[in-house]
Amino acid sequence: MDVENVVRELFHDALEELLIHYGGSEELELADSCGKTAYDLCAVIGLADRDFRATIGFDATRAGVRALMPAPQDDYADWLGELSNQLAGRFKNKIAELGLSPRLSTPAVIAGTELETLRTGSGIQASECIVAKYSEGEFLASLQLELDSELEIKRSEATEVASEGSLELF
Amino acid sequence: MSAKILVVDDSVSVRQQVRVTLEQQGFDVVEACDGLEGVATIAGGNIDCVVCDVNMPNMNGIEMIKKVKADGANEALPILMLTTEGAKELIMQAKAAGASGWIVKPFKADLLVAAVQKLTLASV
């Protein structure tokens, strides 16, 4: 089984679930694309282990960020950072089933105008790029993977994971 | 007198969401942006319960718990983790450090409220 393809699929699932959760009834269109589009905000968050490293980019228009706010607020960069944190967290919880348990970084967010994040070229190759469009805004989620050539899926070493939204009192 | 809840998270958006959810139920809410500020706020006294993220700059949530619980005066202070992390190993680490519970983000408001209500009643 190709590890990279499985991981890319899980990233796709994590993104879709996150956007559906916060987008509610908003109609969501997903497309595989790495084309250049200018965004207002770019978030970056990383996952790293000895044989698995991933960088997630999560770019958005301000309208897109606003569309996913549970309640109105002024700090768009902070909310995109939290969305990228939750995207990475969902992704991390999914790949735990493959026996992968990288550490999660804290997100960094850049705000500006006409931001174009480099996705391909100069030795940088995104493994997965997904453009998510709502009626009011747009996101670009990208995944850059660096996998050890010897890396294998080891479901027998899968980490048990608590489900999203769950509560456990000790 | 309303119970005072400390929310510790590096995301102002999450702190605001938790604040609104808990204030609607009559709790007093104060905020801290990372574990270091959380430790300082708890040291100031009068905190009845803590809702705390795990992954934060300067001092993460589990480090914060260990620091806080090293002070015997905080032995009974309930600390509820609120985080994207779901790995059982990490949950066990937090429990061993002295956490009282764990919620995986995104949180359901009714579960968060019920947990904080239960923890603040139990610590009286």
> Per residue in A105-157, pLDDT tens?
999 999 998 887 766 554 555 677 777 877 777 888 989 888 888 888 887 77
Crossing angle for the helix pair A76-95 and B12-23, nearest 10 degrees? 90
Q: Report the helix count and the strand count for chain B, using DSSP H and E.
A: 5, 5
User: Which chain B residue lies closest to A72 (C-alpha atoms)?
Assistant: B13
Quick check: A26 pLDDT over 70?
no
- On whether any CB of chain A is under 8 Å from the CB of B95, the answer is yes
Instruction: Quote the tokens at residue B121.
Output: 């009643």
The pTM assigned to this predicted structure is 0.90
Secondary structure of residue A141 in the 3-state scheme: strand
Quick check: B99 pLDDT over 80?
yes
- On whether any CB of chain B is under 8 Å from the CB of A121, the answer is no
Strand pairing of A124-125 and A103-104? Answer: unpaired
Distance CA B91, CA B70 (A): 19
- On whether any CB of chain B is under 8 Å from the CB of A82, the answer is yes
User: Which chain A residue lies closest to B58 (C-alpha atoms)?
Assistant: A106
Query: In b/e form, how buried is each residue of A90-109, taking b as 16+ CB within 10 angstroms?
Result: bbbbbbbbbebbbebbbbeb
